[in-house]
Amino acid sequence: MPYRNLDVGWLRIFEAVGRLGSLTRAADELGLSQPAVSYQIRRIEEQLGASLFHRQHRGSTLSEAGETLYRAVHSGLERIDEAAHEIRQKARTPVIRIFTDYGFAAFWLMPRVADFRRLHSQVEVHVVASQGLEEGVEGFADAAVLFGKKGDFRGDAHLLIPERVVPVCSPAFLARFGPFADAAALVKAPLLHLDTVGKPRWLTWTSWLAAHGLSREVAQGDLGLNTYGFVIQAALAEQGIALGWLGLIDAHLASGTLVAVGPEIAREDCGYWLVSNHSASGATLALTEWLLAQRMEKPVYQAAERMTC
């Protein structure tokens, strides 16, 4: 006579009784009555023709047959739960984590991410910002936009924005302290500095002035700030002259809330680079390809005088 396969609807009930050693506690965990749990256990034992538990006054312990069945059921349920979790994760709305610094996030990335989300409403984009270059970014982000030189990144990194820098201030500040006929005239003006930890990867006032054969210590009236957004806000508030990264502050230059007051310096080997995780999902690839297409946009501002270094 052929064996009949077991009805597997009892798996969680048996596993809970075996794990907890109590019909009552298993019933509480599963939201069932104790008689219902006891009935299911008896049905399993009838199908197997063996006792699965030693009934005791203070609970139930697995018999030898029960131990054999419990090992198989417990292991099987773990694999089923893992598979269900994996399926649910894949069925969820795709989520992309992209890492960058505060300035790039605020001035370049966020306006474009808004456009991307309108085109790809099924994708969630989480922007993670920090002022420093994080080690092991690929471990927690699907993609990153990082500032540095080409040699700082993998060979498959893509340049989004080359470094182009021009001094800027508000029109009211220019009216009060200007005009600034040349780079040398900026030496005496209040300057706004972006504070950095370690060796700066981007142009600073020290390196910008040095490119013009000038030098200057931090002077009274200067202001140091720890994020680029604060630097630009200080410039808009007529606190001094900031170094403006073209590609980030173009909207302010186009609207006239900031004006250029010195020559541009360009470093073609430096800038913001897009780096994707090697195991990037289809949603991440869609975002990175879309961001790369945005770099083809025509710059809002073209400097009249430009120096390459």
Residue labelled with tokens 């069925």 = 91
Mean pLDDT within 243-257: 93
> What is residue 1's predicted lDDT score, i.e. its pLDDT?
40
Residue 2 — pLDDT band, cuts 50, 70, 90? Answer: very low
Q: What is the 3-state secondary structure (H, E, C) of 151-162?
A: HHCCCCCEEEEE
Mean pLDDT within 86-101: 74
User: What pTM, to 2 d.p., does this model score?
Assistant: 0.64
Mean pLDDT within 71-95: 78
Q: Tokens standing for 240?
A: 């001094």
Kindly write down the DSSP assignment for every residue of 186-231, as one continuous string: GGGS-BEEE--SSS-SS--HHHHHHHTT------TT-EEESSHHHH
Q: Which CATH class is domain 95-308?
A: alpha beta
Residue 143 — pLDDT band, cuts 50, 70, 90? Answer: confident
Q: Tokens standing for 101?
A: 């610094």
- The 10 Å CB-count burial string (b at 16+, else e) for 208-242 is bbebbeeeeeeeeebbebebbbbbbebbbebbbbb
Q: Is the pLDDT of residue 231 over 90?
A: yes
Q: What does the mean pLDDT of the chain come to?
A: 82
- Angle of CA points 262, 263, 268, to nearest 5°: 140
- Angle of CA points 279, 163, 216, to nearest 5°: 135
Q: Before 179, cis peptide (omega within 30)?
A: yes
> What is residue 304's predicted lDDT score, i.e. its pLDDT?
46
Which residues is 267 bridged to in the sheet? 163
Which residues is 169 bridged to in the sheet? 259
3-state secondary structure of 183: helix
The whole-angstrom separation of Cα 65 and Cα 47 is 13
Sign (positive or negative) of CA dihedral 60, 65, 69, 71:
positive
Which 8-state DSSP code applies to residue 298? P
The whole-angstrom separation of Cα 236 and Cα 230 is 10
The whole-angstrom separation of Cα 89 and Cα 80 is 14
Segment 172-184, tens digit of pLDDT: 999 999 898 888 9
Domain ranges across the chain: 8-91, 95-308
Q: Is the pLDDT of residue 276 over 90?
A: no
> What is residue 145's predicted lDDT score, i.e. its pLDDT?
86
Q: Which fold has domain 8-91?
A: Arc Repressor Mutant, subunit A (1.10.10)
Residue 107's contacts (CB-CB under 8 Å, 6 or more residues apart) are 228, 229, 232, 248, 249, 251
> What is residue 274's predicted lDDT score, i.e. its pLDDT?
86
> What is residue 208's predicted lDDT score, i.e. its pLDDT?
92
Residue 288's contacts (CB-CB under 8 Å, 6 or more residues apart) are 143, 158, 274, 276, 280
Mean pLDDT within 236-260: 94
**Is the separation of the CB atoms in 247 and 202 below 8 Å?**
no
Residue 300 — pLDDT band, cuts 50, 70, 90? Answer: very low
Residue 43's contacts (CB-CB under 8 Å, 6 or more residues apart) are 7, 10
Segment 22-80, tens digit of pLDDT: 888 888 888 888 888 899 899 888 888 999 988 887 788 899 998 999 899 888 888 88
